[in-house]
Amino acid sequence: MHIKREELKKFRSFNGPLIDVRSPSEYYKGHMPNSINIPLFDNEERAIVGKVYKKNGRELAVRQGLVFVERKIETILNSIFEYIENYKFSIHQNKLENSHIRVYCARGGMRSLSIGWLLEKFKYNIILLRGGYKNYRRWIIESFSNKYNLIVIGGKTGSGKTKLLKLLEKNEYQTVDLEGLASHRGSTFGGLGMKEQPTNEHFENMIAEKLISFKKDEPIFLEAESANIGKCKVPHELFNQMKSSKRIEIIRSESNRIDELISTYSIFKQNELEESILRIKKRLGPQRTKIAVKSIRERKWDVVCKTVLEYYDKCYEYEKIGKENIKNIDLTDLKYDKSILGLINNIL
């Protein structure tokens, strides 16, 4: 285990292109951030090779794999060369001096070894990940047991938690935007205007990479969330740390919160907003649901927001994590600009 951790540390210490040669389905499930998928086998080919391995053993599986690769080796190599050239251009250098092309597969076996061997023939510096993605995932999961200096930003719906988080990030504070990584805002309206959510596995990868890149002793700000953000689940160990961490509670007036919600959600299509309301109609109740839907159709955004806030405020008080060690910060009528950072620093 220790050897594999050292191998991963070494692999991560190098700069340069990062290539995942697993199948597209493996890559979609989860991958190392900033890697590109140039698969040796497509999903169907991988399944066939796997069946041959189980039925006839390694030798025949390797032969079958070679048959697949032989048909498309030129395409694979051209994809790699194009990626390398684009990488050079993106970092404004003509040569990959003092860097390596990093390649990994599922377990550090035949797929990465094969691509590594080929690229060495073209005089590239290659480094392969021993233990492959499996080794990486083990490290990711273990990383959530580390202790971090978390500061949780709380506040009722519409209080501008995400806006404050982005302000902190812009001014070089350490931040983790869980909703941004999950591509979801956490409410019934959370998926509006967002790209497809990542798998839970890849969500964990992105969070861990962020946390590991930070200085542990300095504060790390993140937004108060429930355990689930859309279909993504906050890692259990991290969520437990959030519960016991320092918490900054944003206080804003109802009118401020309504203005925030109107600016965020009034841009979306009527049918999308109605569908969002109908998803929580059992919890809203028939009367509030009717009022909210009617107000959407009449574009009475303040009425829509007030109706929904009644529901979400009750949920917030019930679900609020980190109920101890809370420090309030009143940002009523204040602009979310650099001038409020002093208020944040004063209560840390």
| Separation CA 20–CA 134 (nearest Å) | 12
String of DSSP letters for 10-30: HHHHS-S-EEE-S-HHHHHH-
CA dist 278 and 276 (Å) reads: 6
Is 232 marked active-site?
Answer: no
* Whether the Cβ atoms of residue 250 and residue 331 lie closer than 8 Å to each other: yes
SS3 of the chain: helix, strand, coil, percent, to 5: 55, 10, 35
Task: Locate 65 and state its tokens.
Answer: 């794999």
Q: Helices 301-319 & 254-265, crossing angle to 10 degrees?
A: 110
Residue with tokens 């377990």: 107
The helix or strand, by DSSP H or E, that contains position 329, with its residue range, turns out to be: strand 326-330
| Residues forming the active site | 105
